[in-house]
Amino acid sequence: MEAILGQYPRLVAFAERLLALFPFLEKALKKLPAVKREMQAEQQKATLSVEHTLKPYDPGFLELPGQGVAPTKLKAQMRERMQKENPRWQKGLVSGGVYHGQKEHIDFLNEIYAMHSQTNPLHVDLWPSITRYENEITSMTANLLGKRESQADIVGSVTSGGTESILLAMKTYRDHAREVRGIRHGEMIVPETAHAAFDKAAMYFGIKKRTVPVGADMRADVRSVRRALSSRTIVVVGSAPSFPHGVIDPIAEMSELARRAGAGFHTDACLGGFVLPFARELGYSAPDFDFRLPGVTSLSADTHKFGYAAKGTSVVLYRSASLREHQFYITTDWPGGLYFSPTLAGSRPGALIAQCRAAMLRMGRQGYQDAARRIFFTARKIKEGLADIEGLELLGDSLFVIAFKSKDLNIYNISERLGRAGWNLNGLHRPACLHLCVTLLHTQKGVAGRFLKDLKIAVQAERKAPLKSAGMAPVYGMAAALPARGIVRDLLRAVLDRIYRP
């Protein structure tokens, strides 16, 4: 009982009211102030550690300078910082983050961006070329993801990233359900491994989220989806693949359940949309996940990931224009005139749309296929090597996201040791694990071998002398260990406040 109260300090007031019925709680309550102080000390230690790790520079300009800073001085300062920060991703030491990385490709995209830096698709009459480019992007993406086979009028929009694509899709289903199906309080069925953006959408748009578990293979449990369906279900969600473990949910079965129930189905292919379509062509096993399945009614795919465009663009697609129209915002009563916009933002950087189109055309289908071949091969090599490291265990069966946990060691300490060797991996929860999202940068000569070597050294060192947690390890560790998620939220709020404070 003491342990429970220590983990749930917000229940103190309620517990005090129960003392008359449960006198044995009094002793535990007397210890709560000390427990609270200990937790606050740990939180402060963790946030200070984060500040040291993530804020290496001086505060900089806190007020506008009286006179403008000389361009040469500004460029020199900012170039110096990039020269410090770039080597890690350029050497392929980062999980995801940068997906192409070749200097020639980046220089090309920067040139296209500069050419269009003043454009804004909100003003269609001024820059009709940008609208044309957006339509090309959505059409090319739709054809890659099953438009021809589905024989449907697939339409879409370019967004600022995967989160906006997901938010827009969920908002669209909410409004469609209200106007077409008469559902005022809709529900979305989401696997526990789905991206956090679905939770954000539920919070923003007042949609009830019903979370379903995953099985031992880390894929959504179809029986749980079937049980969660109701007359209020507006959309079911599946990942292709999921961010944590890189596995593809049973989308064929899930989308068919949604179709039969009259609900929509959204495939989150933000991570896999420009990689998975080539898996079978290259001899790898991959299930259908896109519009080839009749139950899939919307899909998100990030062009700024394996589409190899610069940050940040993504695409959200719908099976019909009649569904997409619920995404649009239109007002006719504003004194400023008739106002309408297709996405969450009003003004949008047309330069990002232009460079996204340029990236896709520069790559071409053959370029994307060749990139996928190199990525799949490298990921398989890393998985085979990781399986031979004592104490580590692979999670799920993924083509390019390698998730692993430790049977008997602190996985976050292993991550910290890898960080000291230059690596930047993603720390995950439930179960506590790490993952490496393999990109083109990891296919460079020697990168996969270096990762396996550094990982083996980190595991051996941790087994010999466990690390005293530092850097981000205590934050991940506390978040994984505490079952009271409210306390974890307090910790993360403190971390965010520390990061975004001058």
**Which CATH number characterizes residue 430's domain?**
3.90.1150.10
C-alpha to C-alpha distances, 416 to 53, 161, 410, 434, 490, nearest whole angstrom: 11, 29, 10, 11, 23
pLDDT digits (tens, 9 = 90+) for 3-20: 444 444 545 555 555 455
**Number of domains composing the chain:** 2
Are residue 189 and residue 330 in the same domain, yes or no?
Answer: yes
C-alpha to C-alpha distances, 145 to 98, 276, 315, nearest whole angstrom: 23, 9, 11
pLDDT digits (tens, 9 = 90+) for 48-94: 666 666 667 778 888 999 999 999 999 999 999 999 989 988 999 99
Domain stops at, among 342, 361, 380: 361
Question: What is the span of the domain harbouring residue 326?
Answer: 115-361
Are residue 377 and residue 467 in the same domain, yes or no?
Answer: yes
Inside any domain, residue 65: no
Q: What is the DSSP letter of 443?
A: G
Are residue 223 and residue 332 in the same domain, yes or no?
Answer: yes
Are residue 238 and residue 275 in the same domain, yes or no?
Answer: yes
Domain stops at, among 361, 380, 400: 361
| Range from 5-14, 97-106, 168-177, 223-232 carrying the lowest mean pLDDT | 5-14
Mean pLDDT of 86-109: 93
d(CA 442, CA 435): 14
Inside any domain, residue 20: no
Inside any domain, residue 37: no
Are residue 291 and residue 315 in the same domain, yes or no?
Answer: yes
Q: Is the pLDDT of residue 482 over 80?
A: no
Inside any domain, residue 81: no
**Which CATH number characterizes residue 308's domain?**
3.40.640.10
Q: Is the pLDDT higher at 491 or at 386?
A: 386
pTM for this predicted structure? 0.86
C-alpha to C-alpha distances, 213 to 198, 223, 233, 244, nearest whole angstrom: 15, 10, 17, 14
Are residue 368 and residue 398 in the same domain, yes or no?
Answer: yes
pLDDT of residue 2: 42
The proportion of the chain whose per-residue pLDDT surpasses 70, expressed as a percent, equals 83
Categorize the per-residue pLDDT at 259 as very low, low, confident or very high, splitting at 50, 70 and 90.
very high
Neighbours of 290 (CB within 10 A): 25
Cis peptide before 128 (omega within 30 of 0): no
